Amino acid sequence: MTTASTRQWPVALLLSLTLLLLVTLSLPHWHGLFHWLQPDSKQVIYNRDGFFTLLGSHLLLVLSSGLAASLTGIGLGLWVTRDSGRDFLPLVSTLASVGQTFPPVAVLALAVPALGFGFKPAFFSLLLYGLLPVVRNTIAGIQGIAPAVQEAAQAMGMTPWQQLWQVELPMAASVIMAGVRTSLIINVATATIGSTIGARTLGDPIIAGLINFNLAYVVQGALLVGLLAISLDSLFDYLGRRLYSAAEGH
């Protein structure tokens, strides 16, 4: 059953996406505001690349690495909750934790000699950094299913694959989605450091601002990163509520 609160979420999502688009397109015209913020600089609008271009490349990096982290994390989480991989659960959890324990800058420094500069090392760093929430939530979602439900599925004659696809995944979907959501939101901000090794991201104006002591540049990059994070958070919040409602109806 669709509740009133569930119906409100697409409105919030549309508002956040609209605000992100409007700010991205209008930001180059905010000369007055940024001259007030940085009165001693002649150039107050970052113009090395267009903000829309930077937003697109930043989003591509976050979504592609997030998809890879989600597929890998969900696959690992499902594997260690099966009889064949249960013995590896502590190892997988530890390895996923190590990926997020290392600072992203350190991962980038180690990846650059092997992968070069640009998109690839940034992608690899975000992939490792985004694994932990997905792996943990997948394991928690599957293990949180009541044993009686699994026993009932077995009693109905379901094969292990049928039990996974028809019972376990639908019931754990909202928890798994929460892990994917956390992973992506973390990486929206983390992706900005990709600019230090040549990846085109919204970190470009931030890094340029720090180097040139230009606060206006920093604010422009940070504003778009924040709005992008809010938009993605609204999207996954809405999707999570839809999945929860579907599971309740089921």
Give 71-118 pLDDT, tens digit per residue: 999 999 999 988 888 888 888 888 777 766 777 777 788 888 888 888
- Are the C-beta atoms of residues 216 and 37 closer than 8 Å to each other? yes
Which position has the higher pLDDT, 150 or 88? Answer: 88
Query: In the prediction, which pLDDT does 246 show?
Result: 61
Domain of residue 142: give its range: 14-20+49-249
Give the count of domains, the chain. 1
Flag whether pLDDT at 19 surpasses 70. yes
- pTM (global) more than 0.75: yes
Specify if 8 maps to a domain.
no
- CA end-to-end distance (rounded Å), the chain: 10
User: What is the average pLDDT across 122-128?
Assistant: 90
Query: In the prediction, which pLDDT does 245 show?
Result: 67
User: What is the average pLDDT across 194-201?
Assistant: 89
Q: Domain of 98: which CATH number? A: 1.10.3720.10
As a whole-number percent, the residues of the chain with pLDDT over 70 amount to 92
> Across all residues in the chain, what is the average pLDDT?
85
As a whole-number percent, the residues of the chain with pLDDT over 90 amount to 35
